[in-house]
Homo-oligomer: A and B are copies of this chain.
Amino acid sequence: MKQQKYILPESEIPRQWYNLAPDLPTPLLPPLGPDANPISPEMLAPIFPMGLIEQEVSQERWIDIPEEILDILCRWRPTPLRRAVHLEKYLNTPARIYYKDESVSPAGSHKPNTAVVQAWYNKQEGIERLTTETGAGQWGSALAFSCSLLGLECKVFMVRISFEQKPFRRIMMQTWGASCVPSPSEETAAGRAVLEKMPDTPGSLGIAISEAVEQAVTDPSGKTRYSLGSVLNHVLMHQTIIGLEAKKQLALASETVPDVVIGCAGGGSNFSGLAFPFLLDKINGAEIEVIPTEPTACPTMTRGPFSYDFGDIAETTPLLPMHSLGHTFVPPPIHAGGLRYHGMAPLVSQTIVEGLSTPRAYNQMQCYESAVLWAQTEGVICAPETSHAIAAVIEQAKLAREEGKEKVIVFCFSGHGLMDLVGYEKYFKGELSDFSLPQEDLQTYLDAIANLPQPEIRKTGKW
């Protein structure tokens, strides 16, 4: 039995990104500054280049992809759309399962789809150096790769515990010429302040964000900017090339509109990349079930309220309208590090509020079980994040079998698991478990959100 793959020629690569914002039934709420007033694009100029800020606030549905960016993306794009015929056979399902294989990029995930774009727009405006933060290193390695290709310097603040315990993506960053330091570091005021109080801290994404932003905005040359790998509107838009390609490839497979679209969501970027182009069809009347998936150990979308919250623990970001568990929430140590984020992209959050997408949460053990079944049928070892999409796919395929329906399921295979094998090892050894999060444990974090200013949220009757 032959695995089917649908390869798009380079000439067919999408030449515009899709911006969901203007098609939302209700306009996006603005981010708020420290004074609880909406922040203006100009206030973001010390942090991001204007080219990206314009995209962040754009109400254009289609935005041209510069030719030079397409040239770089074509190093590994268009990515294959594959049909998982061996999993289908194993499950004895009438469903047809397609997956968009984003693991084929040199960094091993979908992240370079936006990293390359951000590096390019910064370079256009004379920026010479980008700073960012990274947890396990998925995003940091994608940005290091992209800066290497474009001749920009790259400085990555890596959460100290990951810097020490997960050296491999750090070595990837160094191989691509990036400078990678453990955070908190002595290089920034924010880092020094933390170290003075807690010299042995393992670090956190919140601290690392503060350090990266500080180095960007305080560079006296003005040639440094900051780069973020998910959550923001422009980042999600850059990822829509995934879904736009997938649509063309489904047509090659003689499929029309899929019945179910699935992606795992930490900050929301790979899910959005695949799903938003299909949401356009749904908004125009197509019947599509759109499912962002998350860990039960970090149930942002399924148990966090839609509200204004900070993007980081240190409260340095604007207040963003999003599903959130509270910015001080620290998820249990599941292996899907990229899904351990307290918030969800505002665009994704609003699709949930509008009823356009329906999130589901999966336990760690079910996800690893799904990942191993995937490896032994489809032959590829997936990232622990991606296993949260696969768990949902298997659930939907079984449902189709019970209903006797020939459903078409499409999901985003966001990354391979070759840098994450330690989690598999622990799973085989029986050292992993599920985590329950009793409501009383969550409540403290949720209470903190309720105490933040929520003016715009309150204004809109339907929120």
Count of this chain's copies in the oligomeric assembly: 2
Q: For residue A171, which residues in chain B have a CB less than 8 angstroms away from its CB?
A: 421-422, 424-425, 428
A375 lies within 8 A of chain B by Cβ: yes
A7 lies within 8 A of chain B by Cβ: yes
Residue of B nearest to A419 (CB): B418
A381 lies within 8 A of chain B by Cβ: yes
Q: For residue A148, which residues in chain B have a CB less than 8 angstroms away from its CB?
A: 375-376, 379
State whether B175 touches A424 (Cβ < 8 A).
yes
Known: A418-B108, A421-B168. A175 touches B375 (CB 8 A): yes
A176 lies within 8 A of chain B by Cβ: yes
A1 lies within 8 A of chain B by Cβ: yes
Q: How far is the CB of A100 from chain B (nearest CB, A)?
A: 16
A199 lies within 8 A of chain B by Cβ: no
Q: For residue A376, which residues in chain B have a CB less than 8 angstroms away from its CB?
A: 148, 175-177
A276 lies within 8 A of chain B by Cβ: no
Known: A2-B71, A71-B1. A421 touches B375 (CB 8 A): no
Q: For residue A379, which residues in chain B have a CB less than 8 angstroms away from its CB?
A: 75, 106, 145, 148-149, 176
Q: How far is the CA of A67 from the CA of B168 in the complex (A)?
A: 39
Known: A74-B3, A177-B376. A172 touches B106 (CB 8 A): no
State whether A174 touches B424 (Cβ < 8 A).
yes
Q: How far is the CA of A9 from the CA of B9 in the complex (A)?
A: 10
Q: How far is the CA of A421 from the CA of B175 in the complex (A)?
A: 9
A380 lies within 8 A of chain B by Cβ: yes
State whether A167 touches B108 (Cβ < 8 A).
no
Q: For residue A313, which residues in chain B have a CB less than 8 angstroms away from its CB?
A: none
Q: For residue A86, which residues in chain B have a CB less than 8 angstroms away from its CB?
A: 149
State whether B176 touches A375 (Cβ < 8 A).
yes
A172 partner, pick from B104, B168, B381, beta carbons under 8 A: B381
Complex interface residues of chain A between 389 and 413 (CB less than 8 A to chain B)? none
Complex interface residues of chain A between 407 and 452 (CB less than 8 A to chain B)? 418-419, 421-422, 424-425, 428
Q: For residue A232, which residues in chain B have a CB less than 8 angstroms away from its CB?
A: none
Most buried by B among A5, A106, A379: A379
Q: How far is the CB of A372 from chain B (nearest CB, A)?
A: 6
Complex interface residues of chain A between 131 and 179 (CB less than 8 A to chain B)? 145, 148-149, 167-168, 171-172, 174-177
Q: For residue A7, which residues in chain B have a CB less than 8 angstroms away from its CB?
A: 7, 9
Residue of B nearest to A151 (CB): B376
Q: For residue A167, which residues in chain B have a CB less than 8 angstroms away from its CB?
A: 421, 425
Residue of B nearest to A146 (CB): B379
Q: How far is the CA of A71 from the CA of B418 in the complex (A)?
A: 25
A421 partner, pick from B71, B74, B172, B425, beta carbons under 8 A: B172
Q: How far is the CB of A245 from chain B (nearest CB, A)?
A: 15
Report 24 cross-chain contacts, Cβ distance below 8 Å, ordered by A residue: A1-B71, A2-B74, A3-B71, A3-B75, A7-B9, A106-B379, A106-B381, A149-B379, A168-B418, A171-B422, A171-B424, A171-B425, A171-B428, A172-B418, A172-B421, A174-B428, A175-B372, A175-B375, A175-B376, A175-B424, A175-B428, A176-B375, A176-B379, A418-B419
Closest 9 CB pairs of A and B: A2-B71, A171-B421, A106-B379, A171-B425, A175-B375, A106-B380, A168-B421, A3-B75, A418-B418
